[in-house]
Structure 1
Amino acid sequence: MADEEFFRNLPKVTLHDHLDGGLRPQTMIEIADDIGYRLPAGSADDLADWFFETANSGSLAQYLTTFDHTTACMQRAGDLRRVAREWVDDQVADGVVAGEARWAPEQHLRAGLGLDEAVEAVAEGLREGMDAAAAAGKPFIARQLLCAMRHADRSLEIAELALRHRDTDLVAGFDIAGGEQGNPPTNHLAAFHLLRDNDFFYTIHAGEEGPLESLHEAVQVCGAMRLGHGVNIVQDITRDPQTGRYLLGRHARFVRDQQIPLEVCPSSNLQTGVASSIKEHPIGTLIWLGFNVTLNCDNRLVGSTTLSREYALVSEAFGLSTMQLAQIALAGASALFIDHAERTRLVQQMTLPWFQASVNERGGGVQPDLWDR
């Protein structure tokens, strides 16, 4: 098994990483002390343990309750700026070269900030992080995705907010987030139509806990350009008990054949009950069948994880070669909501380190087909 340190030294991209799910515990403690907020633990280590253990419940609803504490520490402009800056710093330290920080501005207004002020504060933090990374010789591409909460009724307002800031504050896309059960993506069609009319990117949380119908609506009715999680697409895949052959239903085949990127977050899915172990996670089947899989953390604090750890877990569980994991990393880069020329340069820059790592892994031999096992 290639360990976490091995993957930390290789360039990666994160598409699905919630800003409010990756705070440093010490940062939370310092902000909470300043604003008089009571956290569930007093030390950084104990707080990190509390988040992981509370979220590790097998229930998305229980998992989401932990965000009451993180968002409480992200209500002032300075705190949003600090969290965004540290988000970049932590990604760079993990060997990530580009990423989209997603968050829901509507959840950060309790201290008097307006929606626009909140977006501007996060943009300032992301810029500070990028400037520091460039000065250290480790350039990083940061963007923000604005989420609307799918159980609320502000999605059109948040879509309008995203469009206002698309050219000034690193806002690259839109998303709907929150509990999927009972909150279908079609509740937010007006927002998606507005974004389409204005040629703007968006992804949709779908297929995390909801039924196949939620995925179908996200893709065929709402026009999702990427799918947040998407792992429940396996509900439309069966396996012949006699031959072992996989049989794809029409929707699964469409998602696979259109190569709609899936933002898969293995450790998070284990915490919310998608699978009981990493070896039983649908990602192995999805990779094998040629779906456009990208690998992500979802929430680094809540999942006690890093992107390098996710690569190591998947590598060990499914026996993937370095070249197979390279394809996943490059799929993430190719799916970024950024300018095509910038994306192309990034893919080119990422390719050589992964190829060289694969050559070293195989002792310099001839590289087989990427999916040859």
Structure 2
Amino acid sequence: MIPSGASAFVGLAPVVLAVFLGFLALSVPLGALSLELGGNLGFGTFVVGLVIGLQSLATLSTRHQAGTLCDQGGPRKAILIGLPLAASSGVAYVLSSVLPLGVEGKLAFMVAGRLSMGLGESLFLTGLMSLGIARLGADRTGRVMSWTGIAIYAALGLGAPFGLTAQGAYGFLAVGLITCLTPILALAIIVRLPPAPAVGGQRVPIHHVLGLIWRPGLVLALSMVPFAVMAAFLPLHYAARGWSQAGIALFGFAAAYVLVRLVGPGLPVRFGATRIAVGSLAFELAGQALLWLAPSPNIAAMGAILTGLGFSLVFPAMGVLATRSVPPDQRGRAVGNFMAFADIALGVTGPAVGLATQWAGLSAAFIVGAAATGAALLLIPLIKLRTAP
């Protein structure tokens, strides 16, 4: 375990950097995929949403197994399998660009890339978060989740505009190459760290863990819907309106998210996790409403910023409540299954909102985001009654 103070930051820094690099591989293709599929290859919004959502569905199907592997085999094992799988998704994107294929063949390689990333992310993120908790100690789980959350959404916010820029300059091939490279860099960092011991424990059925964490997990899932909506459909919404630089709005979301994490990481402890979650979800709801009604790209960017300000503290607040609910030898499974709720949101939102936008237009995506955050607000009292913040 890393001692408290400055050395704690030093001990957590390589884990946070590896999370950032791993999630760059996940985020760089997001906006680029929607434009490649919807613009260059001519597929409809349902196919766009389905392909983007497939990654999260693949992640969801393996979260519990990834947590079990971390608990019984140690976090390092999960990481060393997950990061190469993430890099292989970039290989699939490269092949879709360089091989002489029709649109169906290119689509098949993109689907393969999304599935590979889903399996890889399930393993490497669960492993990295479990490694961070092992290095700092269970009493600093909140700090680990806060800083890894910063890394995740900094990567998501920076990766999307970076991917769009690379695609505009060099085509989708550049997106694939970047996706190959960043997990390899993360792997080079992790192999230099000493492995954390496995905590062991008996095999636990998934329904047992879910029964302890489903309330904070469901709030997390609903709070993730606005991000899923923006990642899949904001570039298409901007293009349909004739607006440019959708990447600025996505960057604004990430910048606001990181700013709140940096200036207010102790707010859930100081004022209570449930109270902070209520305020955060209210900001998210306002941001989605503003995106829906925005008459200009500047107003839309303000909506994305409000969404990022709101979402920032939901993840660590709900994550602390989830991990407090289980014994230490089940913590990896709790982390894995808690994050599985985010996978559900990301996997289901894409195709569901794709159908909604075909019927009611692209702006309907943000109505769905607002409705989801409203539902999360209604669930907060259930958590407050059953779990102390």
* Same fold (TM > 0.5): no
Q: Which one has a larger percent helix, Structure 1 or Structure 2? A: 2
Question: Structure 2-normalised TM-score?
Answer: 0.25
Q: Which one has a larger percent strand, Structure 1 or Structure 2? A: 1
Question: Structure 1-normalised TM-score?
Answer: 0.25
